[in-house]
Amino acid sequence: MRFVVLADIHSNMEAAEKAKKYIEEKKPDAVLICGDITHSGREEEAKKIIGKLASSKIPVFYVWGNMDRVKPDTQLQEVNATCLHGQKTEFGEVELLGLSGNAWGYDFLSTIEKSNKPLIIVSHEPPEGCLDLTWNGSHAGDPQIKNFIEKVQPDLMVCGHIHEARGEANIGETVVCNVGKLGSGNILTIDIKNNRISVQRDRI
């Protein structure tokens, strides 16, 4: 399976247009968006951005970020897109779990178990201590997310939020990717085949 992953759009329609062209070239099974779709915007603004990315008939799965002025589980209507927050969703050969960045805690993670399908976490925030180092040297990741990854060992986690901490790392067997800000040209293609994960980092 193939996924295109992006994060931190921050209402940048020019960047969204570039991402749309990239998506059309890569022909993924789905697009994953790791929050901060808007920059202090609400549903109508987010719908315009998501609608542009979802217009190619490729399904879009998203979570909200701390800059999105909506409830963490808000579902946008009339677009080919699904908010993943707080639920585990089967999609083809994998399962997707969403963690919006404007949630008040992630206590529901204690109820999530891994099945025999590869599990991908789509999160706005990175885990504490992993790809979460800010410009001033402090760690801004979430401890509940870190504890969940250490316990459950999902196959892959994609996130954003800390623009300057983009990169790849591992927590045990879990591959963690901080995508980076879309407006700076950061985007990923992730291929999963025979339970092997390959990450291609591109600039657009």
For residue 102, what pLDDT band results from cuts at 50, 70 and 90?
Answer: confident
Task: Give the global pTM.
Answer: 0.96
Structure confidence by residue, pLDDT tens digits, 39-95: 999 999 999 999 989 877 899 999 999 999 999 999 998 888 999 999 899 999 999
Rounded to whole angstroms, the Cα distance separating 55 from 75 reads 17
Residues 6+ away with beta carbon under 8 Å from 201: 168, 186, 187, 188
The correct answer on CATH 3.50.50.60 for the domain covering 2-203 is no
Portion of the chain with pLDDT greater than 70, in percent: 100
Rounded to whole angstroms, the Cα distance separating 72 from 9 reads 17
pLDDT of residue 84: 96
pLDDT of residue 55: 74
- Give the residue extent of every domain in the chain: 2-203
Rounded to whole angstroms, the Cα distance separating 32 from 124 reads 11
Alpha-carbon dihedral sign for residues 107, 108, 111, 117: negative
- 13-27, 71-85, 166-180: which range is least confident on average? 71-85
User: DSSP letter at 47?
Assistant: H
